[in-house]
Amino acid sequence: MHTQSLSPRQFMMKILNGSSAGIVIGLVPPAIAGELFRALAPLSPLFAALYHVVLPIQFSVPALIGTLVGLQFHCSAPEVATLAFVSVIASGNVTLQNGAWLITGIGDVINVMLISALAIILVRALRGKLGSLTIIALPVIVAVVAGGVGSFSLPYVKMITLFVGRVIATFIALQPLLMSILLSMSFSLIIISPVSSVAVGIAVGLTGLASGAANIGVSSCAMTLIVGTMRVNKIGVPLAMFAGAMKMLMPNWIRYPILNIPLLLNGLVCGVLAWLFNLQGTPASAGFGFIGLVGPINAYRLMAYTPMVRAGILFLVYFVLSFLAAYLIDFILVDRLKLYRRELFIPEQG
């Protein structure tokens, strides 16, 4: 198989595109369908069973990243399979505890991306050199080298997420309005980055207004991307953003840092809204936004108003005001200030 020559930028974009697709495919279905089936579970055992069917999809994220990165580079079947299991090794979500293998969460996505890049370099370097032994030798070599490096680097790469968590934790001690603004702005960026917003929310133990602000921050990112994508893409892209596929634009976010401006501005506005309406949440709900209605449902349960008032406030904040703020910010930055072009919201293809 011919190995195509790639520039560093092309190589990076293929890694990012494969990674973002794997994250979206693995996390969005259980987030949406999982919450739906969990809500319907009291009505029938069938829904409870379906909930446990879709929930484990998230555990496949590392393998999905490896697989889709391989497809980005037009790898053969043995190469794709090798990349998939090396990504699982690098994630650290499969561990041996008390003699039993346990799967926990999706692992460290940043380490998965780094080791996927290393693994694809090895795969491309070995392509055509192993002959008939490829199907046996390739998995062993790449597993030992890339998998070994991934196991060694995992504790150190995890420090990135831990550092983000420590920064987020410092916001909790601040005055409520400032805390709400900073948390909302932070999570508006975390959700589109390789870092897991849910993992950060749980690790820090965000609760009450802090959790509500984190959720509205995630929602503000979604609305900013919906407004940005809806005029330059087919309807499927903004719908994907609404469904929670914000990481689909992670390559664009990394390539065009100027996109942080509308994200942060809408995060600021939504942080004020979270404080103004005293949106609440739990550590388990922090970082979801309105994906699967996790954020609104938890805020609804913790509000003291009548059911209609609660529903009205949440619909207004999560879906109306956050969208209007995103639309106004887009109009000012693009149409008036000419700060960037809306074409930056077209998904990168590598």
Per-residue pLDDT of the chain (350 residues; tens, 9 = 90+): 566 788 898 999 999 999 999 998 998 888 888 878 988 899 999 999 999 999 899 999 999 999 999 999 999 999 999 999 999 999 999 988 888 999 988 899 999 999 999 999 999 999 989 999 999 999 999 999 999 999 999 999 999 988 999 999 999 999 999 999 999 999 999 999 998 888 888 888 899 999 999 999 999 999 999 999 999 999 999 999 998 989 999 999 999 999 999 999 999 999 999 999 999 998 878 888 998 788 998 899 899 899 999 999 999 999 999 999 999 999 999 999 999 999 999 997 65
Contact 279, 316 (CB under 8 A): no
pTM recorded for the entire structure: 0.87
Tokens 């926990």 sit at which residue?
A: 104
Strand partners, 97: 100
Tokens of 308: 């209609």
* Sign of the alpha-carbon dihedral angle for 278, 282, 286, 289: negative
Q: Which of 71, 58, 75, 72 is nearest to 109 (CA)?
A: 58
Q: Which of 181, 165, 191 is nearest to 213 (CA)?
A: 181
Length of the chain in terms of residues written: 350
Strand partners, 102: 95
Chain center to CA of 262: 18
